[in-house]
Structure 1
């Protein structure tokens, strides 16, 4: 019997690599990887690259030899393009259901009031066809009575040819459901990471079927209420509601590796000003204020012959704020306390915490007038940067052409968001 409610998970296949192929068809069929900031580690792989043994998060220098021996192509991350393509995909998916949760840049949950006559597998095929036609991106779709099972159904839709990219778990015969659950490692379950999978294996829970059969009460006592809820979801009982509005973040992090080794305090100061600016923009976009700030700096752990140093300090702010200038001042204050000469710094970052809604702001007795003026200034900064492009208006202390800016030696054009980089069509 079909449940009263059905969830769908739509996931873009090899999203970053697929985005690159949309505008450069010459990359299709070739082993392709997308690298992290400063071209350090692999963050996305095409199926051809996976077949060659390239692993997620693998440092590029460990597999760079494959470029010569097997023609692996490595591109720098182009997040501007990926975010815009994601926005287009999510807008298309919203047309299939008014209930949508954008789970990540390449994943979205949809919810449907189930009808017995509804063929969800055919709906999944229609979703795939429309997204491919309108964006050029391949997707896989999984349907199930719970979000956890929908994630698994999506996994089977993507990895098992018999489903052709669309799997409706509820429509499968019971014997086929159990065969899939037994053949799938427990590590594929949403929320079960490598360490938890190892602990479960010690208790003879190896497959998804094993976890489904485990007593939720026992799992809750032995592990956590979260794992107990996961086991219940695997039985087809929905415990996780669709989040139409993403919950407010508990922390905001801005961190980057430097494009070159940094030794001097003035250069670190520029980077910290830039990171504080970006963190404050995120904070205002979330409609929140930060009550605490943490700053960290570190050298590269991969330079074994170089002196190592890593440190962090935090500060409780006099009052919660989203003011770029105040956050930058606090960050640079902490940086001066952390800095030690004689080291080659490779990374720095800012973490904002103790977040609260901006509408609950409590100012000091004499600070309300200045706060109102600063709010107007921040509003103008955000508006100009939205309309004229990110970085149009910035703090001078962040530098005009910083040498620490991350490397993107092989970044593709930002085809959809920058006039100067729009692709040309020749007839």
Structure 2
């Protein structure tokens, strides 16, 4: 039966407000109260906005070049994506949140689920204290939603974000007191429900379901037969039956079947030499993630594509290499990625993207073979590279084809090559770089 094994505790969802934009104000308090936008890779599109930027009508996904002039007139402050800073502040925030309530499930970089075994009022007070502590200690504003299920906690959390009178903490019980939550659910478009994507929303609208309230009142069994078991679970969750359980790997960046590292170039490049340099760097990035989750890969694929650079004819190249033995060795994987593309690069084509895909992932601890044989595991090179980069700065040393030797400039994350990602408006990485730590002067 739905909810048969559901925990009796309430679900608590803590979600940072405008996380990327909020991170930019932590070490630059002069940005508070001003319109701030954070841009995607190569400073392409808007991916995060402060409340003030939202009030100006700036929409996520808008190409920066289209609104640059208007943004300058409105005194909008743009920042390149500072992934090191965001990741560091996220880990600090999650660490603080975990001290208040048990059962933390980090769902993404800016949100986590927790469990509260206490009654509503005590839970509210704990959540208010938790929110104050994160704001004071980390500098990130957080909104908290409390509900019997994860889906309702998502809805409640969004309500807390939009209504200042909630003081950042809202309980579903308070919203549902008068009409069981029907009024709240009737105001939520179907596509805004957690787990309902654009395609599914379009299909649901086709049968007359346009609001969360209509979905809640539909027959879960019939909807499962027509759509999926996941939609059935969403319906049950909207009715207060917990049936979406914790995922141990939800926010851990763990991949069970494949692992991809792909980037757009700072500017299009030609020639195999440039492409294999980029592929070598991306292979090293992929290996870091592979080792972090204690996995081995059996197949290495590499690809590059031109897209529609300057309205030219799209062109792509790709190849795969099956490894003799499963491996997490960056030397082996980088060499396989370069070999996979060798001979397939067209010299006249200007390529705009490249990537490395690791597939056939297996658990390194569970891999067993004959006693004298084993995986081609990293002999320790990655840890040496990590120590060098930690001491002397990122990308000071790497593997193959100058892949890892960075060029001039503080903002260079990779090699300073033409294809390196552009982040011309990058703020200081105050928590991970000694040379970029903020300096305070006492008068």
> TM-score higher than 0.5 here?
yes
SS at match of 2:310: coil
Contact 2:13/2:153, CA 8 A, preserved across alignment: yes
| Equivalent residues in 2 for 1:234-313, closer than 5 Å | 234-244=238-248, 246=250, 248-250=254-256, 251-301=258-308, 303-304=310-311, 306-313=312-319
Q: CA separation in 1, counterparts of 2:84 and 2:359?
A: 26
Cα 1:82–1:116 shift into 2, 3 Å: closer
Equivalent residue for 2:355, pick from 349, 353, 357: 349
Q: Distance in 2 between matches of 1:116 and 1:420?
A: 48
User: What's the CA shift string for 1:222-267, capped at 9, x where partnerless?
Assistant: 1111111111111111112223555741221111111122112101
| Secondary structure at the counterpart of residue 417 of structure 1 | coil
* CA offsets 1:345-367 (integer angstroms, 9 cap, x no match): 11111111221100133568986
1:396–1:313 CA distance, 2 compared to 1 (3 A): closer
Matched residue SS, 1:303: helix
Tell me which of 177, 194, 198 is aligned to 1:194. 198
Match of 1:190, SS state, is: coil
Gap change, CA 1:128 and 1:322, over 3 Å in 2: same
**Structure 1 stretch 78-87 or stretch 394-403: which is displaced more?**
394-403
Give, in whole Å, the separation in 2 of the partners of 1:217 and 1:321. Answer: 45
Partner of 2:83: 79
The answer to whether the aligner puts 1:376 opposite 2:383 as a matched pair is: no
Separation in 2, partners of 1:325, 1:363: 22
Q: Is the 8 A contact 1:220 1:227 kept in 2?
A: yes
CA distance 1:337–1:196, shift in 2 (3 Å): farther
| Structural RMSD (CA) | 2.2
Q: CA deviation at 1:120?
A: 2.7
Q: Distance in 2 between matches of 1:63 and 1:179?
A: 37
Aligned to 1:325: 331
SS of the residue corresponding to residue 127 of structure 2 reads: helix
- Alignment TM-score, normalising by the size of structure 1: 0.92
Whether the 8 Å CA contact 1:120–1:168 is kept in 2: the answer is no
- Which of 336, 339, 345 aligns to 1:339? It is 345
Structure 1 residues 88 and 119 mapped into 2: Cα distance closer, same or farther (>3 Å)?
same
- Give unmatched runs, 5+ long, in structure 1: none
Residues 4-403 of structure 1: pairs in structure 2 closer than 5 A: 4-113=8-117, 115-116=118-119, 118-172=121-175, 173-175=177-179, 177-244=181-248, 246=250, 248-250=254-256, 251-301=258-308, 303-304=310-311, 306-362=312-368, 368=374, 371=376, 374-385=378-389, 389-397=393-401, 398=403, 400=405, 401=407, 402=415, 403=417
Q: For the residues of structure 1 that align with 2:53 and 2:273, how far apart are their CA atoms?
A: 41
Q: Return the structure number with greater helix share.
A: 1
The CA distance in 2 between the partners of 1:171 and 1:68, in whole Å, is 42
Asked if the contact 1:319–1:362 (Cα under 8 Å) also holds between the matched residues in 2, the reply is no
1:99 touches 1:244 (CA, 8 Å); kept in 2? no
Equivalent position SS for 1:184: coil
Q: 1:349 to 1:11 in 2, by over 3 A?
A: same
Q: Is contact 1:307–1:343 with CA below 8 Å preserved after alignment?
A: no
Number of equivalences: 421
Q: Distance in 2 between matches of 1:399 and 1:124?
A: 44
Q: Which of 417, 422, 426 does residue 437 from structure 2 map onto?
A: 422
Q: Which runs of 5+ in 2 are unaligned?
A: 1-6, 408-414
Give the secondary-structure state (helix, strand or coil) at the position aligned to 2:216: helix
SS at 1:394 equivalent:
coil
